[in-house]
Amino acid sequence: MNETKGQPVFFGGRHYLVLFVLLCLMTGLVGRALYLQIVEKEFLASQGGQRQIRTIETPAYRGAILDRYGTPLAISTPVDSVWVNPSEILQNLPALKKVTQQLSMNYSETVDTLKRKANKEFVYLKRQIEPELASRVSDNVDGVYIQREYHRYYPAGEVVGHLVGFTDIDDNGIEGLEKVYDNWLKAEAGARRVIRNRKGAVIEEINQVKAAQSGKDIYSSIDMRLQYIAYRSLARAINYHAAKSGSAVLLDARTGEVLAMVNQPSYNPNQAKQKTSGNRRNRALTDVFEPGSTIKPFTFAAAIDKGLYNQKSIIDTSPGWYTVSGHPIKDYRNYGPLDLAGILRKSSNVGASRIALSMKDEELWRSFSDYGFGKPPGVIFPGESSGYFRHFSDWQKLDHAIMGYGYGVSVSITQLARAYAMIANQGQHVDVSLIRKEPGKKVENQVERHVMSSKTAKMVLEMMEEVVGPKGTAQLAAIAGYRIGGKTGTTKKSTVGGYDEDNYFSVFAGVAPISDPRLVMAVIVDEPTQNGYYGGKVAAPVFQEVMSNALRILDVKPDDIPSLRAQIADAEKGA
C-alpha cells in the first residue's frame, strides 16, 4: 500500500500471492489429515498400540523344601521391587529425592547412577521390599514402577541353615539343598502381553505368551521334631564344655535317611550378614577327623568275618603297652587278658592293635573300604568329603597297627554314622539320603549288598552293648527301658609335626535298640576345654538326650523292661 494524494492504494498482485500461499498451506494440512485418517489409519493405530502394549514377566514360585512330614524349611514369599525409567524420573528430581528418602537410599549417588544409565529404560532402584512400602513409594510418581518377585524365607532359621542353604537375590541356589536341587526347585517365569497407561499401570490384559511354571517341592528326610532336639542338645553341650565346634547325625538304621543333622556354630540363612563361609559350612559332611576308638568295632568285625576270632577268644594286653616299629602303643592301665567284649568295653588300644596286626594289611584295608571308609557318604551335597584312607600298599607296620584303633584314617561324622548303620542293619550296606525315601518302595534292580555277615554284626552289637553298661566307658549314653550299644572315642588332634597333647575330639556313636535296631546316631565335639574331654563324658550325653526323645517320639517299643521298672522304682523311692 502507498499513498497518492493522501489516499491508500492496494497492490493487488501481492495481496493475491499471500492469499494463495495461505490457501496452499491450508489445503496441505487438510490433505495430510485426510491421508493419515484414511490411508495410514491402520498403520498408525498399530504403532500407537505398540507404544502402549508391553510384554511383561509373570513371576512364579520357587519350589518349597519341606521336612518328611511337610513342615516348611524353605518357602517363597511375595515381595516387590522398585524400578525406574531414568529418562522419566530425572525430569522430576524432587520426586526422586522423596523416593530415595523413603527407601533409605543416598540421593546423590542414586542420581549419579541413573545419569550413567540414562540410555536404559529399566533400572532397579531397590529390590525385594515389603509390598506396602513399594506401593507407597511408587504411588502417583511418574517414572517409578514396581515389579512382583518372590523372596526366599527359612522358617526354622539356623536350626536347618546348614542343610537347606540359601539362594541369591535372583533365586539361584547358592548352598545346601537349594544348590543341589536348584534345577528341580527353580521356577520358570511366564510372559504376557498387556496394555499400560502412561504411569505404567496395567489397564488391560491382551494374551498370555508363555505360562509361568512354579518349581517343584522337595520332601527332605529331616524330621523337624528331632532336628530341633538335636540342635538344642548339641548347642548346650558346646556351651557347657566351651568347645570350638560340633556335629551330630541321626539316621534311620533301616533306610539310611537322615532324620537330623546339626552343627555348631550355625548361621541364619535369613540374615545375609551371617552368611560367612566358616559358619555356613556343613561340618557333618565336610569336616573330617581321626575316629579313634569308635573304629574298633569294625576292626573286630573284620577279624571275626575272617574267622580269626570269636566271642570266647582271649587276648593278653599285659603289661598295658608294647612297641611297634619303635612306637609305644599304650592302654590307660594294664587290663591283662581280655575277651573281645572286654577289649571293647575297656577300649584297649593294645588289644585292638594286636587284632589288626593278626590280619594281612590288604585284608584290613579291604574290609574298612567295604565299610565305607575313604568313600563319600553319598548324600550328594556341596563339599561332601570322602575322608582320608590310604591304600595298604603305602602302609608301614605301625600304620597297620594304629589303624586298628582309629588313627591314620579320617572320616566325617556322617561317614561314621553310616558305618554304624551298616552294623545295625545286619551287615548290609546302607545308602544315606537327605531326601525322603518312599516307604516300602524298592529301587528297580537294587542289589542288597552285605559287607559284613549278619552273625558278625549281631556279635558286634552285643559287644557294644557292654560299652554302655555299668562297667563300660559310655554309661552316660544309657537309656532306661532300651538296650543301647555304642562306642566312645577320644582322639588327639593332629598338628604339623605330630599330635596336640591338649586338644581333643570327643566322639560317640551308638545304636538303639539293640534287639531290633531302628536308629543310629554319631556325635562329635571339637576341642572341649571345660568339664571333661572324654567321649563318654562329652559326646555320650548328647546321644542320650536326643536318642531318648527320638525313641519316644517315633514310638519305638522298649526292649529292656527291667531297667525301666528299676527307674520307676527309684523315682518312687525318691518321691
Contact 418, 430 (CB under 8 A): yes
What is the model's pLDDT at position 445?
41
How many CB atoms neighbour CB 28 within 10 A? 10
- DSSP three-state, residue 503: strand
The letter for the amino acid at 147 is Q
Instruction: Please tell me the CATH code under which domain 224-574 is placed.
Output: 3.40.710.10
Q: pLDDT by residue (tens digit) across 254-265?
A: 999 999 999 999
Arch. (CATH architecture) of 55-219 = Alpha-Beta Complex (3.90)
Mean pLDDT score across all residues of the chain: 87
Angular region, 162: left φ>0, alpha ψ -120 to 50, beta rest:
alpha
Indicate if the pLDDT at residue 52 is higher than 90: no
Stretch (H or E) spanning 423: helix 413-424
Gap between the Cα atoms of 120 and 143, Å rounded: 12
Indicate if the pLDDT at residue 72 is higher than 90: yes
**DSSP H helical segments within 440-560, as ranges?**
454-467, 535-538, 540-553
Report cis status (omega within 30 of 0) of the bond before 86.
no
Indicate if the pLDDT at residue 47 is higher than 70: no
Burial class of 419 by CB neighbour count within 10 A (0 to 12, 13 to 18, 19+)? buried
| Dihedral, 553, 557, 559, 564 alpha carbons, nearest 10 | 60
The letter for the amino acid at 159 is V
What would the mean pLDDT of 201-207 be, rounded to a whole number?
Answer: 63
What would the mean pLDDT of 521-532 be, rounded to a whole number?
Answer: 97
Gap between the Cα atoms of 348 and 293, Å rounded: 9
Contact 174, 167 (CB under 8 A): yes
Gap between the Cα atoms of 432 and 377, Å rounded: 6
**DSSP H helical segments within 250-295, as ranges?**
283-286
Q: Which of 130, 251, 346 is nearest to 547 (CA)?
A: 251
What CA–CA distances, in Å, run from 55 to 78, 191, 195, 201?
A: 21, 6, 9, 13
| Dihedral, 468, 472, 474, 476 alpha carbons, nearest 10 | 80
Q: Which of 361, 315, 351 is nearest to 330 (CA)?
A: 351
Q: Of 293, 347, 348, 412, which is the active-site residue?
A: 293
What percent of the chain has a predicted confidence (pLDDT) above 90? 60
What is the model's pLDDT at position 556?
95
C-alpha cell at 347: 577300649
Residue 177 has, within 13 A of its CA and on its CB side, a CA count of 28
Query: What is this structure's pTM?
Result: 0.83
What would the mean pLDDT of 97-103 be, rounded to a whole number?
Answer: 88
Flag the least confident range among 376-380, 495-499, 518-522.
495-499
367 in catalytic set: no
Residue 146 β-bridge partners: 82
| Sequence-ordered strand ranges (E) for 115-274 | 123-129, 144-153, 190-196, 202-210, 218-219, 245-252, 258-264
Domain boundaries, the chain: 55-219, 224-574
Return the higher-pLDDT residue of 570 and 308: 308
Going by DSSP bridges, is the β-strand pair 218-219/65-66 parallel, antiparallel, or unpaired? parallel
